[in-house]
Structure 1
Amino acid sequence: MANVVFTEKASGGDAHMTFGNYSGGQDGAAAFAYLPGTGAGYDGTSWYLINSSYTQNKNPDLNNYGRQTLTHEIGHTLGLAHPGDYNAGEGNPSYKDASYGQDTRGYSVMSYWSESNTSQNFSKGGVEAYSSGPLMDDIAAIQKLYGANYSTRAGDTTYGFNSNTGRDFYSASSSSDKLVFSVWDGGGNDTLDFSGFTQNQKINLNEASFSDVGGMVGNVSIAQGVTVENAIGGSGNDLLIGNNAANVLKGGAGNDIIYGAGGADQLWGGSGSDTFVFAASTDSKPGAADQIMDFVSGLDKIDLTGITKGAGLHFVNAFTGAAGDAILTTSGGVSTLSVDFSGHGVADFLVSTVGQAAVSDIVA
């Protein structure tokens, strides 16, 4: 995610990082590290407590505290400080010492404070999950120091189920898995695949946004400057939120709400009663219209109330120049809804459905 390359060597180099362990002392600290520029023999070194009574660092496995500790201390050796002016070796700091509200482990592995302070929840099955990789604010900070690396996952990448990232913290294989990560992606056509989860989820594809995935809250985020094109929901009642790219959004089973936003999107509700939401006429316009790929009349709905504000539509055979005129046509099993919201006598909103739609399916 940054222009840093790690190469294992015995010694030497201008930016050598050394890892060590200790069994006691250091005022009971679980780990500590030295920032660059501390001094010869110190900078680039990090130390980890390992003894019979403290074993977290001995096995820094996925989602455990030892893995987060390792990531945190590596952050220090690369030049990242805590988000605020506090340190475990200086007094008894608390969240009151935070310099800004987002100084939590929901935004940064460099923080001391629980994600609950920012209304997030990384607990599942009574077990707290910790991030094993850099989070949203860490990515921004390390890129400010070293520059953003756009060759990282520059191809078509899938995160979650069916992951091809080669990273355990970006991957899921079971509904019981706990995902805590922030996406940095250099390009390609990318997908958040949370199809294996049964809980109700919120999946948001916008940069600098958070998603509620697999029964947790605010546990998946997308870093600033990243475009993820596609999302796949699970078997719960999911909310899928697109961005201004041409998204492919698949709700899966359950009664889903799908909002494509800008771009020419392909939308699948899946089984269940699904609602396709449009908040602005520009969300689906002639020349860049959305397609609802599996519409079932009587079960699914097209919700335009975000545009009409409850004023309704006037279904006509031809536009009259009145704002709110709508034409619904069907040919070969495909319905097309055209609406003149501006009152110029031509459609400024258009959406098509694979599967015949009826006037009663449109909420305005």
Structure 2
Amino acid sequence: MPSPFTSSEITHVDPANDTIDSLLSISRWASTTISYSFPISDNPLFWSSLSGGYGFQFGDGEPWNSAFVPLTTADQINFVRALQQWANVANLNFVQVAETASEVGDIRAAYTEDPDESTLAWTYLPSPSTLAGDIWINTKGLLRFQDWNPGSISFETILHELGHALGLEHPFADPNDPSKVGLPRDLDNTRYTIMSYTYSNLEGNEGTEFSFHPTTPMVLDISAIQFLYGFNNFYHAVNDTYTFDDANTYHETIWDAGGSSDTLRYAGAIPSLIDLNPASASQIGQPVYMQSNGVNIGSPIHNIWIADNVMIENAIGGQGNDTFIGNNASNSLDGGEGIDTVVIGFPRHQFTFGKSSDHYFIAADTNPANQDILLNIERVEFDDTGLALDLGGHAGEIAKLLGAVFGASSVANQEYAGIGLTKADEGLSYEQLGEFAINATNLTHHGEIVTLLWQNLFGTIPTQSDKSPYINMLDNGEISVGSLAMLAAESEVNAQNIHLTELMQTGLAYI
């Protein structure tokens, strides 16, 4: 264990030859068991004033500054909570020690003063110096006055400072060190790494903070800390379900060490994006925004990430219109309620698609054994076309109206199908959709409308006696044009004409 006058052993860090090089300092702690402590005194018995220490003990720097104060009990609780977030993802074991004149922690945290109120905290990287690992919180900064609860900028700051204490650097270039590797501008962002200083939204606008800050290390942080200390192979190593709801706000990255059937579940009503790919991001539940001086700027940012090298196999959506993106595993994607969409980033012809008794399935032709199960999914969107699967809902209404109003062959018109589905998904009723379809024919005379529908159903021109009952109902206002189109669409002969049973197996193609 380190003492006030000695430091624990460190080891040199070689480059990863990867994006995370920008986050790596030149050294880390040699041991994966790292101690921490909360200083309660600035007595010289607990601090080194020797070379490599804090210097002249009557100076005004830390720890000798008269503003020195220990962390509060609440601060310590959240500090330990932040430590645990790092231990969850990496092969790290944090052990608290009580400070004595002969033993202190590798990581020490207390308050001192910096006259610049914008300075929240600072930390010394792992090194042979007794300064190494020490974290100082500015008594004039925000952290002195704000609770360090997860989601606050204060909790993010503690996560950030602990990153330094473990051997991570800022990701941006250092003008004083030309050899320092910097992250590309589009990645030097707190959305990817809490070691960044940059807050920006999906449109690229920069601000001052988030409406809800990261509560875990983010994707690049996890990759970097695992490079330094190894993986935590025991955290969520079985089949886990990660549940998110609308009662809470989330901003985190999931690390899952194993399990063959993990599930990401959303139990809410806000339309969400669920992306199961490693190192990818989702928008789930209450939106999180980039802010400038407390004002939300632009569209919501991604708030749930999956760490690299993590495979979550299944997803369950909520009550809204959710969008799903699967990964390379065999996924079970359950949309729940709403009009839910699975996005496939490849052309339709590269996939086998079909229906079993209770679900649809899809598999890439290059890997047919890797089959995804689609439950309560209404739309599948390929690069070049889409399939509407709700033949008992909107897709069925559109297919039947196409057959009745435009003829059975028009069911294959993907542009017509796409227009109809858009209107249906926007909320038009079946009757309103029927009226919309009739209006698209530019026919206004009731006799012409009845003739059109009759011909499409039966393939013959109706006699006057065939037409009269329907014309009279239209003329007398007993039935609307939309209702008549709907009546024709729902006929058994129309279902046979458009091969509705077969469509239920294949889905309705649309653009």
TM-score bracket for this pair, using the shorter chain length: 0.5 to 0.7
Could you say which residue in structure 2 is the equivalent of 1:75? 163
Distance 2:508 2:366 in 1: 18
Q: 1:249 to 1:359 in 2, by over 3 A?
A: closer
User: For residues 292-317 of structure 1, what are the alpha-carbon distances to aligned partners after superposition, in whole Å with 9 as ceiling and x for unaligned?
Assistant: 4458xxxx4666774899xxxxxxxx
Q: Quick check: 1:266–1:290 contact (8 Å CA) kept in 2?
A: no
User: For residues 160-197 of structure 1, what are the alpha-carbon distances to aligned partners after superposition, in whole Å with 9 as ceiling and x for unaligned?
Assistant: 33xxxxxxxxxxx5x1522111111100132222222x
User: For residues 188-237 of structure 1, what are the alpha-carbon distances to aligned partners after superposition, in whole Å with 9 as ceiling and x for unaligned?
Assistant: 132222222x2221111011111122233222211111101111222221
Shift of 1:156: 1.9
The structure with the largest helix share of the pair is 2
Q: Quick check: 1:195–1:233 contact (8 Å CA) kept in 2?
A: yes
Listed as ranges, the gaps of 5+ residues in structure 1 are 91-96, 162-172, 310-354
| From 317, 325, 341, the counterpart of 1:257 | 341
1:21 equivalenced with 2:91 (yes/no): no
User: For residues 75-107 of structure 1, what are the alpha-carbon distances to aligned partners after superposition, in whole Å with 9 as ceiling and x for unaligned?
Assistant: 0000000011359xx9xxxxxx96542010000
Q: 1:305 to 1:361 in 2, by over 3 A?
A: farther
Q: Quick check: 2:352–2:364 contact (8 Å CA) kept in 1?
A: no
Matching of residues 46-125 of structure 1 within 5 Å? 46-50=135-139, 54-55=142-143, 58-86=146-174, 100-116=185-201, 119=204
Q: 1:146 to 1:303 in 2, by over 3 A?
A: closer
For 1:105, the aligned partner's letter is: T
Distance 1:207 1:121 in 2: 26
Q: 1:159 to 1:101 in 2, by over 3 A?
A: same
1:194 equivalenced with 2:274 (yes/no): no
Q: 1:61 to 1:264 in 2, by over 3 A?
A: farther
| From 300, 305, 312, the counterpart of 1:228 | 312
Q: Helix, strand or coil: the match of 2:142? A: coil
1:153 equivalenced with 2:225 (yes/no): no
Q: 1:176 to 1:38 in 2, by over 3 A?
A: farther
Q: 1:235 to 1:117 in 2, by over 3 A?
A: closer
Could you say which residue in structure 2 is the equivalent of 1:217? 301
Could you say which residue in structure 1 is the equivalent of 2:504? 358
Q: 1:141 to 1:57 in 2, by over 3 A?
A: farther
TM-score normalized by structure 2?
Answer: 0.48
Distance 2:339 2:129 in 1: 59
TM-score normalized by structure 1?
Answer: 0.65
Could you say which residue in structure 1 is the equivalent of 2:216? 133
Q: Quick check: 2:97–2:104 contact (8 Å CA) kept in 1?
A: no
Q: Helix, strand or coil: the match of 1:77? A: helix
Shift of 1:113: 0.2
Could you say which residue in structure 2 is the equivalent of 1:317? none
Shift of 1:20: 0.6
Matching of residues 173-192 of structure 1 within 5 Å? 173=245, 175-188=246-259, 189-192=261-264
| From 97, 101, 121, the counterpart of 1:31 | 121
Could you say which residue in structure 2 is the equivalent of 1:240? 324
For 2:122, the aligned partner's letter is: F
Q: Quick check: 1:265–1:289 contact (8 Å CA) kept in 2?
A: no
RMSD: 4.2
Listed as ranges, the gaps of 5+ residues in structure 2 are 1-88, 177-181, 288-299, 388-500
Shift of 1:3: 1.3
Among all aligned residue pairs of Structure 1 and Structure 2, give the percentage whose two residues are the same amino acid: 29
Q: Helix, strand or coil: the match of 1:21? A: strand
Distance 1:200 1:308 in 2: 20
Q: 1:195 to 1:99 in 2, by over 3 A?
A: same
Matching of residues 311-350 of structure 1 within 5 Å? none
Paired positions, count: 283
